[in-house]
Structure 1
Amino acid sequence: MGVNSSYLSKTEVQQMLGVNTFGLWRLVRKYDDFPQPTEKPHDPFAAFRDKQESEEVWDGTQVYRWAAHTPEFSHRGAVLLCPLPEVLTPGRWAGYKDTPKGPALDWDTALGTIRIVHSDDRNVATDVASALAGAGNPDNVVTVCALYGDMGFTGPALVASDTAHPGIEYEADWGDAAALAGQALPWWPHLLRLPQLIREWQPGAPVAVVEVPPNDNETILRRAARNDAFDVTSHAAVTDMANDIRNNRTDSVGHENEIFGKEGYRETPNPVVIGAEPDTSRHPLPSGGDRQTLKTGWHKLALSSHPDAVAALEVAVGREPGLLPFGAVTEVPVRSGTITERWARRLAMCDPTAAHAVLAHGKPVDSFFIDPLTDMPVLRIPDDRGKPVWRFYAPLSLPASGAELTSAVLHHTVWITTSDGHVHPAPCTPTEHLWWGDGWGDRPSEAAAVADALLDDLGATVDLHEHWKAPKGLTALFTEEHKHGAELTRSTLLHARMTPPRAR
């Protein structure tokens, strides 16, 4: 997160500082460091509002910080940026508070009650302070702090918003808040920032040891692992991924505690008390099983029509698509007389599977198909203008059956014709895409690498991790601005592969 920007009109600056127009004119000349007015960011909706925006505005945080550091106006400046009293009366813990933005702890201090909301979402400090001010501030809170999501010099970074000016946020120092509280302040790692844990905390309490809660993805996978509709291989595949998610989350909590609980950069330790740590009694859970076995399990799930298979497959597509039997998602328009029409003739209409549902990605679908030669799911869907398009997964490899590549045809993607009379979308890994042309400086080495592999073995499983190492001549060929429908014959591809590109 960050500190929200706020802007003050001339009148609002005067109200904040308690001066009139002449007083503002005087202090601008008296203090060389007084913030200069600035331009408010353009508001495209301003023309539709009755009130005209002020032409001259000040950055609210800058003015509020300036006041805190200027003795004449420090009583009107940011509460946690004003110099601390030389003799501080120790504060005390004032208990737990629920807020609409997350769990909070109150601290009664010499400056008043400080409320620390244990959340690093945006707008938390402003929203909570604004709600308090709007309700008449029944708890007499002078400032609301929220977590900045980063580390400061004396502990976790804070963003603050005072109830006197809840629209203005500023960065605050954890060490200053702890000095006012009179003790080290508690902090919880992100995944253990749970209301029930924070509610139970009190000064001197031992660190809570708790199991890291599952996220939505892990919950989906665990549900699939308990579903008797799937076989043991699919159970193993989803369990392996669920365990990997849990291990990563547990490791991240431990890593956070190490960062935010470390002693700090100064001679004295940072005043931080770790509120909770992960239960590692069963950590790590088994994961990283035999990759081919995992792929088999995911392949079976892709063929299922159960909603749990759809949900699990959506997790896998986003987390580790390399375990799935599909290449990159591709769309081409449905048009007669094109290379795609030759391919589409062999498509077989079918009932939808989990693979089809994930491929659809929430889009309306006209028809469901399967490519009988590659087993790739195919959809016929309307595009944004209602015109039909083919949406499919590129295969990871092509059926070889003793045939060889005859040509590569360029039509919205790369198509391969073979010596046994078939047309296929060119194979492509899930995280790449195939294209041609200059690409504004980028070069289509992915397409060149695929052509290079298939020239030698039509059934090769393409590996595009180092596609930039494709033969320079092939890359140069695919970099040319070919028209849609252009066909690069086998002899053209072979000649390009062995010919160094011309210097530009």
Structure 2
Amino acid sequence: MGVSSSYLTRLEVQHLLGVNTFGMWRLARKYDKFPKPTEKPSRSFDRQEPQEVFDGTQVYSWAAGTQEFAHRGAVLLRPLPQNPTPGRWLGYKDTVRGPALDWHTDLGVIRLVHSTTSKAATDVASAITSGGGKDGVVTVCSLYGDMGFRGPALVAADLAHPGIEYEASWGDLAALVGQVLPWWPDLLRHPKVIREWRPGARAAVVEVPANDNEKILRRAAANDVFDVTSRAAATDMANGIRNSRIDHTNNDIRIFCKDGYGETPNQVTAGAVPDTSHHPLPCDGNRQALQAGWHKLALSVHPDAVAALEVALGREPELLPFGAVTEIPLQPGTVSDRWTRRLTMCDPTAAHAVLAQDAKAEAFFTDPLTDMPVLRTPHVNGKQAWRFYAPLSLPAGGSELASVVLDHTLWVITSDGHVHPAPCTPTEHPWWGDGWGDRASEAATVTDQLLDDLGATVDLHQHYNASKGLTALFNEEHKRGAELTRAALLHARMTPPRTR
């Protein structure tokens, strides 16, 4: 979040500063730092001529720093009163943008909205002015969502000009209020918690709420339909999410409630801290057991398994039993056609449902040699397509890699005549050809490992260290359907590319 943009016409600037046309002309000559006009950004469909405007924040902030126009400038950017009278807390307020606290100061009432929503300060200030009852409020502050030099960064909008936002200082606000101000970390910033705060109160101990992903996993973990291994896998990931959210909240408190810079302490204190009585929860258990649990969930047909699998795919795809998503057109007579002939039609599993995403699948299949889920779906141009997960490894059975074929993806032909999509990890994708500066190191690494062991579970963590010879071979512009024999691949692996 940040300060929202606002633009003023020349006439609006005159009204803001209380000057006539001549006075406006004089400003640019008297003040070197008077903001210069600019052109208002236009939308792509707006065919009107560019309009000369002024940046509202710049003009309003500039006015506050001048003796002549300070009384018309941003309230919290004007010179602060000398030895201000300590302010007082006026209580909690509900606003259109969330919970707020009111503070009476020498400048009037300042409403601090504990929200990082864009335009929160403007929206609350506008709501007050349109409602008629200002309750003495002169300005509204909201959270910028970042850290300033003297505390959490603030955005302010004065009731005199609610449409103009500017940055304000937490330190200045605390000086006007005359006490340390409370701040709530994002995950504990609840109206009920803020409503119960009182000056001098100790930080409330609050349970970090579960997010949607944790709720999905907890629901799967409590479902008796799944076996103990699957439920343990879902629980482990849910615990990891809870631990991360508590650690994130504690880290935010350390950052935003730090002592300060130099000798000036920040005038901020945490209004709430996370409940850590059971923290951390056990997680990151035995990976083989977790992978086994997720494998069983992938084969389930229960909706809770689908939802849990979607969470795992975004959080820890390495725990799932399949690699990267691949989509190819349905083309008879190609290498992929040889592969699809062995697919077995089946009822959809959770893995199929996650693979389909929003696509309209026509039929569901399984590769009987690798157990990978496959579906057939209309392509975006109306042609049918195959969508599938790449396997993590191939069945060896005493055979070896005989050749690879380049056709939309990398295909492996084994010495016993089987065709497979090349194995791949969930976060990579084998490709070949000119990568505009990138190198085809993933395809080179997969091939390098399969040449030595057809049944290897491919590891692409160090793919950038792939064989330079194989990388150079795959970086060439091969024709679609080109076949590279085992002999050609071995020769490339042992032959460094020529330097240009």
Q: TM-score, normalised by structure 2?
A: 0.98
Aligned to 2:73: 77
Q: Secondary structure at the match of 2:327?
A: strand
Whether contact under 8 Å (2:405, 2:481) holds in the other structure is yes
How far apart, in 2, do the equivalents of 1:230 and 1:262 lie? 46
* C-alpha RMSD of matched pairs (Å): 1.2
Aligned to 1:458: 454
Q: Which of these residues, 435, 442, 446, is aligned with residue 442 of structure 2?
A: 446
How far apart, in 2, do the equivalents of 1:7 and 1:258 lie? 37
How far apart, in 2, do the equivalents of 1:371 and 1:308 lie? 24
Q: What is the correspondence of 1:278-297 to structure 2 with a 5 Å cutoff?
A: 278-297=274-293
Question: Deviation of residue 137 (structure 1)?
Answer: 4.8
Matched, 1:337 2:333: yes
Aligned to 1:323: 319
Q: TM-score, normalised by structure 1?
A: 0.97
How far apart, in 1, do the equivalents of 2:375 and 2:138 lie? 59
Aligned to 2:33: 33
Question: Deviation of residue 111 (structure 1)?
Answer: 1.4
How far apart, in 1, do the equivalents of 2:51 and 2:36 lie? 13
Aligned to 1:237: 233
Aligned to 1:477: 473
In structure 2, the CA distance between the partners of 1:69 and 1:53, relative to structure 1 (3 Å rule), is farther
How far apart, in 1, do the equivalents of 2:377 and 2:129 lie? 52
Question: Deviation of residue 66 (structure 1)?
Answer: 0.2
In structure 2, the CA distance between the partners of 1:136 and 1:46, relative to structure 1 (3 Å rule), is farther
Q: Which amino acid aligns with 2:111?
A: R
What residue ranges of structure 1 are gaps of 5+ in the alignment? Answer: none
Question: Deviation of residue 279 (structure 1)?
Answer: 1.1
Matched, 1:23 2:23: yes
Q: Which amino acid aligns with 1:335?
A: Q
What residue ranges of structure 2 are gaps of 5+ in the alignment? Answer: none
Whether contact under 8 Å (2:39, 2:50) holds in the other structure is no
Question: Deviation per CA, 1:60-104, whole angstroms, max 9, x where unpaired?
Answer: 111111001011111111111111111312221111111222211
How far apart, in 2, do the equivalents of 1:441 and 1:331 lie? 24
Q: What is the correspondence of 1:98-497 to structure 2 with a 5 Å cutoff?
A: 98-497=94-493
More displaced 10-residue stretch of structure 1: 133-142 or 241-250: 133-142
Matched, 1:11 2:2: no
Question: Deviation of residue 53 (structure 1)?
Answer: 5.7
Whether contact under 8 Å (1:105, 1:117) holds in the other structure is yes
Question: Deviation per CA, 1:410-448, whole angstroms, max 9, x where unpaired?
Answer: 111101111111111000000001100111100110000
How far apart, in 2, do the equivalents of 1:362 and 1:72 lie? 61
Whether contact under 8 Å (2:257, 2:268) holds in the other structure is yes
Percent identity, aligned pairs only?
72
How far apart, in 1, do the equivalents of 2:26 and 2:327 lie? 66
Q: Which amino acid aligns with 1:388?
A: Q
How far apart, in 1, do the equivalents of 2:485 and 2:3 lie? 59
How far apart, in 2, do the equivalents of 1:319 and 1:465 lie? 17
Q: Which amino acid aligns with 1:27?
A: L
Q: Secondary structure at the match of 1:483?
A: coil
More displaced 10-residue stretch of structure 1: 427-436 or 126-135: 126-135
Matched, 1:93 2:96: no
Q: Which amino acid aligns with 1:348?
A: T
Whether contact under 8 Å (1:9, 1:54) holds in the other structure is no
Whether contact under 8 Å (2:96, 2:127) holds in the other structure is no
Q: Which amino acid aligns with 2:36?
A: Q
How far apart, in 2, do the equivalents of 1:79 and 1:292 lie? 61
Q: Secondary structure at the match of 2:138?
A: strand
Question: Deviation of residue 296 (structure 1)?
Answer: 0.3
Q: Which amino acid aligns with 2:118?
A: R
Question: Deviation of residue 256 (structure 1)?
Answer: 1.1
Question: Deviation of residue 5 (structure 1)?
Answer: 1.8
Q: Which of these residues, 52, 55, 77, is aligned with residue 51 of structure 2?
A: 55
Aligned to 1:42: 42
